[in-house]
Structure 1
Amino acid sequence: MTPAQVADWLRANPLTPIQVDCATAVMLKILDGKCKMRPTEKQVMALLYDAIRTQPGERLDPAVHELIREARARLDDAMRERVYEQRVLAETVISRPVMKGFKAAIRERGLLNPRHDQEEAD
């Protein structure tokens, strides 16, 4: 999936502020290595994050976006620890049912379409 395809998807499926927080939390999980999504799904989620990072969230501190920017540029052990702390905090302010609902919604609406998720065979 390309950035343009994600932008098109977002125009048809705008995210609510809490869903923006959910996408941000997923990006934190990707950065700290705790995300269990397939590599192609992680790539799509990173594109989604890039497309929504300037939109207002509901519960997360907007400063988290600067941390994510820094971590993407330099992910050493100290930065990974900072990301971990923010990820844990995000998971405490976004309930598990809300997060699961977000993931189900983006799958149902085709962002993580199974044909886009297939890994290339060796």
Structure 2
Amino acid sequence: MDSVAAWVAAHPLTPSDVDCATTVMLKILDGKCKMSETDKVVMAALYDAVKHRPGQRFGDELHALIAQARAPGGEALRDFIYEKRVLAETTLSRPVMKAFKAMIRAEGLFAGLEEEDADA
């Protein structure tokens, strides 16, 4: 999604934000995410736009696991992804994740995406 890449370019994200995006991607992959399909696509695009940046707590190991889980046959990793996601959420804390989600909404990450989807 070009709009997500443009949003990332215009908004300086912290290493903690990268960790939050990584954690959300784990939640999407473990099947426990309650977001709409559009929001999942946006968050996956956000993760893809920041995964090369350094996180504060998470790094190459989780990115490699996410890449493996997204590959064909990766659904076999779902239980392992779940364990890693729970650990990541515990590491980050609820207030950090809530602040990240509030920031991306307030800063307009999702603005106009319903219209963009309708045009596709």
| Partner in structure 2 of residue 81 of structure 1 | 79
* Structure 2: runs of 5+ lacking an equivalent: none
Q: Which residues of 2 match residues 32-111 of structure 1 at below 5 A?
A: 32-73=30-71, 74-77=73-76, 79-111=77-109
What is the CA–CA distance in structure 2 between the aligned matches of 1:15 and 1:6, rounded to whole Å? 13
Q: Share of identical aligned residues, percent?
A: 56
> 1:61 Cα deviation (Å)?
3.9
What is the CA–CA distance in structure 2 between the aligned matches of 1:98 and 1:112, rounded to whole Å? 19
What is the CA–CA distance in structure 2 between the aligned matches of 1:103 and 1:43, rounded to whole Å? 15
What is the CA–CA distance in structure 1 between the aligned matches of 2:36 and 2:114, rounded to whole Å? 7
* 8 Å contact from structure 1 (residues 41, 117) kept in 2: no
| Partner in structure 2 of residue 116 of structure 1 | 113
Aligned mate of 1:29, from 27, 45, 54: 27
Bigger helix fraction: 2
What is the CA–CA distance in structure 2 between the aligned matches of 1:31 and 1:7, rounded to whole Å? 21
What is the CA–CA distance in structure 1 between the aligned matches of 2:59 and 2:10, rounded to whole Å? 26
The one-letter code matched in structure 2 to 1:41 is: D
* 8 Å contact from structure 1 (residues 23, 49) kept in 2: yes
Q: Give the TM-score taking structure 1 as reference length.
A: 0.88
Tell me: CA distance 1:18–1:66, structure 2 relative to 1, closer, same or farther (3 Å): same
| Partner in structure 1 of residue 10 of structure 2 | 12
- Report the RMSD for the aligned CA atoms in angstroms: 1.6
Following TM superposition, where does structure 1 have runs of at least 4 consecutive aligned residues deviating by more than 4 angstroms?
117-120
The one-letter code matched in structure 2 to 1:100 is: K
